[in-house]
Structure 1
Amino acid sequence: MTAPYASKPADSRGRRHPEALSTFRSPWQRDRDRIIHSSAFRRLKHKTQVFVEHEGDYYRTRLTHTIEVAQVARTIAGALDLNTDLAEAVALSHDLGHPPFGHTGEDALATLMAPYGGFDHNAQALRIVTQLERHYADFDGLNLTWETLEGIAKHNGPVVGTSPTDGPGTGALPYALAEVNNQWDLELHTNASAEAQVAAVADDVAYNHHDLHDGLRAGLFTEDDLAELPVIGPAFARVDHLYPGLDPMRRRHEALRRVFGTMVEDVIAVAQNRLAGLKPSSAQEIRDMDGPIIRFSKPLYQNIKAVKTFLFHRMYRAPSVVAERARVTAVLDALFPLFLDQPAEMPPQWRAAATEAADQTARARIVLDYVAGMTDRFAIAEYHRIFGTPD
């Protein structure tokens, strides 16, 4: 039994291309399954989450991150009597639009695409699930429900802007998002459903937790460096009190799982209090509120900001990571203009589409779809094939 403010399968706005209902799956279970079986989801296995000093099997990829986000989203949604299937579907799809090389790749493609409408990974995820996945006989894309598309577009909050050509700082609407929204109004000015908000917070919980794990494993900082950080330092102190002399790897895991639990419990407690006070009676009331209802408490949010600041300087901008960012940026900076000028270097289906494009902008967007869909290893292999060994 879900709460009155939970999204209800019977109230779904359906799919852009009507389909008969499944006899044994709800609309959002069906969305979840289509996402898991998509080509874009499989490619996440070989896409970067965060660059670390040494590659290894223990570091998170974009796929393992996505699975962790989905687990957190189901937990929080279940505790709040929300629709766990919709929360999971949004969580599983939230990073489908990420290009190779993580946020470094996104930054590089945003610069390269600046003359052609820009690049945004959330908008690209919508393009993937509405156009680029081409497996079904009756439609392009996955034909997901309106609620899942809304969650992909707005899980981080309302999207402002009316045109992809607005100037910098004016809330320009990414062209890929504008295309989908023009076809099916996602009500971008409102909040997303509570379930999509859960997916967004679950993303924060997951990466704040696992980036600490990965940074420690990479040797970018030590447990002693974390001792003065809020939430984290006390978690290690608590473990030391309970388990003096514990094996270092077990100590690390025990402390960081407590950090993880603190974040999840805080989100649930804040949401329960706000929901009890506001008493929304429908999913639409959640959308129409002034701000998100699923969020961290103010004290924990400030503590997490301190952790993020630490990670920014000690991990995301560590010298080894910065050097790797420069290397992979050079890969995309070389591949994108080459494919734009020489479509023959792309596979046949992409070559044909780029050659037949109406103008340079249309061609650039086709090249973007091809390059953004690459895995890290394939992008590097293509660079080797065309240019030889990178510096």
Structure 2
Amino acid sequence: MAEIPVNRDAALQRGTSLAGADASGYAIGFGGGERAPYAVHPADSRGRLFPEPPSATRTPFQRDRDRIVHSAAFRRLKHKTQVFLAHDESDHYRTRLTHTIEVSQIARAFARAFRLDEDLTEAVALVHDFGHTPFGHAGERALDAKMRGFGGFDHNAQALRVVTALEQRYAEFDGLNLAWETLEGLVKHNGPLAGPHATCPEVPRPVLDFDRLYPLDLDRFASLEAQAAAISDDIAYNTHDMDDALRAGMIEVDDLRGLALAGDILREVEGLYPNLERSRLIHEVMRRHITRMVEDVIATTLANIAELRPGHADAVRGAGQTMVAFSPAMRAMEAETKRFLFARVYRTDRLMEMSRKAEAIVADLFNRYVAEPREMRNEWSEAMDLAAPEKRARRVADYLAGMTDSYAIAEHRRLFDATPDLR
């Protein structure tokens, strides 16, 4: 591959994307070129829990991406809440599905910039929200409270259950039988779950159960592909939750002026386009918001790669740190944005009241299904009368977690005299 020298510092000063520069400051180009040595290479995959013959036309990670997109769990994301309820006042707000697609787009850009395996990166991005309940984090809180005596409920662990057990479409196995690297990315995209670098106080029980069957190296970092998907999630929801809140009238454009990142971008756009109408102004700010964060991650990650010089994907896993990262300055601005969104959007009276009502719906349904499992539809109620309490609770949690917002509301209306109005 031809290498063209590029000045990284000058590129940053111009605001030019560094997506085409490698760690040594040489252009690597675009167009699906050769993978970097530290990328995950399909030929080196650790395989699948249930061995399958290789495809004549697709890599293991292309097959995983395709299985994820064609799954029922992926389709259900269309009617699951991101922040604003999917059936709320406008169809313009993000759902879990549109958020997932946006995360995937950003992640694939990182994969192209760092010469990673684009299909694996995309697969991890597309599957990362499979375990989310109806009504977003409100539903997760309600289920976790109900499952406290039975191993709890965690949406990442639930995503693992979806792709290893609950999707039942294939003749020879339950789940999607994804490659080891895709499962690793799903479970550890936010960092190790065990050991000195653990990112959570306790490994969720469903993850431990599966790890005993098919070890995922829970004490090690995930691949750069998974790390790229994880930081893309942060970039997408920070920006798009702000965008949705502006369009919902929960915050105003002037509220952004006090933020280091969004405020600077707002002043830049106003200087370039005085008197721009509100909707265009918001879009110009939001698209630049993504761009600045993406370019910061690219520059920072290239510097990390240059410093650590991982020679292969396993060296990334043993690096002892996350390599796809924000710079310290951007990390501070991103944290400020999160604090702003919690104070002005997520914890507002409006959303908190809707969350309380949503939690009540999920709690009511859980209690009814545990007491009367035959109220669950289709095969879900089979053999439930004899199930041990923990197995019964987990099966009910699986059933509830798979529901869309609209189906959960419809079920509550079927089973109860009064259902909270979430609008």
TM-score normalized by structure 1? 0.96
| Partner of residue 135 from structure 2, selected from 98, 101, 110 | 101
Moved more, 45-54 or 251-260: 45-54
1:371 and 2:400 are equivalent in the alignment = yes
Match of 1:120 in 2: 154
Write the distance in 1 (CA, Å) between the matches of 2:161 and 2:386.
Answer: 20
Write the distance in 2 (CA, Å) between the matches of 1:344 and 1:137.
Answer: 26
Deviations 1:272-330 (A, max 9, x none): 01101211100000000111001111111111111111100110011110110011011
Q: Do the aligned partners of 1:354 and 1:367 also contact (CA within 8 Å) in 2?
A: no
| Residues matched between the structures, number | 383
Q: SS at 2:190's partner residue?
A: coil
In the TM superposition, 1:33-112 aligns within 5 A as 33-51=66-84, 54-112=88-146
Shift of residue 215, structure 1, vs aligned partner: 0.4
Match of 2:305 in 1: 275
Change in Cα spacing, 1:154 to 1:170, as seen in structure 2 (3 Å) is closer
Write the distance in 2 (CA, Å) between the matches of 1:140 and 1:185.
Answer: 18
Q: Do the aligned partners of 1:156 and 1:197 also contact (CA within 8 Å) in 2?
A: yes
Q: SS at 2:225's partner residue?
A: helix
Q: SS at 1:59's partner residue?
A: coil
Q: Which residue type is aligned with residue 21 of structure 1?
A: P
Shift of residue 175, structure 1, vs aligned partner: 1.6
Q: Which residue type is aligned with residue 92 of structure 1?
A: L
1:30 and 2:63 are equivalent in the alignment = yes
Write the distance in 2 (CA, Å) between the matches of 1:181 and 1:348.
Answer: 30
Match of 2:3 in 1: none
Structure 1 residue ranges, 4+ long, deviating more than 4 angstroms after superposition: none
1:255 and 2:285 are equivalent in the alignment = yes
Match of 1:156 in 2: 190
Deviations 1:125-175 (A, max 9, x none): 1101010000100110000000000001000000028xxxxxxx9832212
Q: Which residue type is aligned with residue 393 of structure 2?
A: A
Write the distance in 2 (CA, Å) between the matches of 1:57 and 1:2.
Answer: 39
Write the distance in 2 (CA, Å) between the matches of 1:384 and 1:252.
Answer: 38
1:182 and 2:215 are equivalent in the alignment = no
Write the distance in 2 (CA, Å) between the matches of 1:351 and 1:275.
Answer: 51
Deviations 1:51-74 (A, max 9, x none): 369531100000000000000000
Q: Do the aligned partners of 2:193 and 2:200 also contact (CA within 8 Å) in 1?
A: no
Write the distance in 2 (CA, Å) between the matches of 1:289 and 1:353.
Answer: 47
Q: Which residue type is aligned with residue 326 of structure 2?
A: F
In the TM superposition, 1:105-254 aligns within 5 A as 105-160=139-194, 171-254=201-284
Q: Do the aligned partners of 2:84 and 2:94 also contact (CA within 8 Å) in 1?
A: no
Match of 1:302 in 2: 332
Match of 2:38 in 1: 5
Q: Which residue type is aligned with residue 159 of structure 2?
A: A
Deviations 1:234-290 (A, max 9, x none): 111111111111121111111111111000001110000110121110000000011
Q: SS at 2:260's partner residue?
A: coil
Shift of residue 100, structure 1, vs aligned partner: 0.5
Gaps of 5+ in 2: 1-33
Kindly, what percent of the aligned residue pairs are identical? 51
CA RMSD of aligned residues (A): 1.4
Q: Which residue type is aligned with residue 253 of structure 2?
A: E
